[in-house]
């Protein structure tokens, strides 16, 4: 995940939906726009805390 128009690629609908729901649990993502691109092998379980950036640091 990244902020701004910096990533290129594709993402599955299920990962986009999951990221949208998971972002609700991270106050730093409130009011932010972020990008999601699938890269490499998808893990069975996604550790969203390590994937969703801390937008307060931007």
pLDDT at residue 2 tops 60: no
SS3 2: strand
Tens of pLDDT, residue by residue over 33-56, are 878 888 888 888 888 888 777 665
pLDDT at residue 24 tops 60: yes
> In this structure, how many other beta carbons lie within 10 angstroms of the beta carbon of residue 54?
10
Q: What is the mean pLDDT of residues 16-40?
A: 85
4 or 15, higher pLDDT: 15
**Phi/psi at 22 (nearest 5 deg)?**
-60, -35
Q: What is the mean pLDDT of residues 13-24?
A: 89
26 or 56, higher pLDDT: 26
**Phi/psi at 38 (nearest 5 deg)?**
-75, 130
């Amino acid at each position: 995940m990244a902020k701004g128009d910096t990533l290129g690629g594709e993402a599955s609908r299920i990962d986009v939906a999951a990221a949208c729901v998971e972002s609700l649990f991270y106050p730093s993502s409130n009011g932010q726009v972020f990008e999601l691109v699938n890269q490499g092998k998808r893990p069975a379980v996604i550790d969203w805390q390590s994937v969703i950036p801390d937008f307060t640091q931007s």
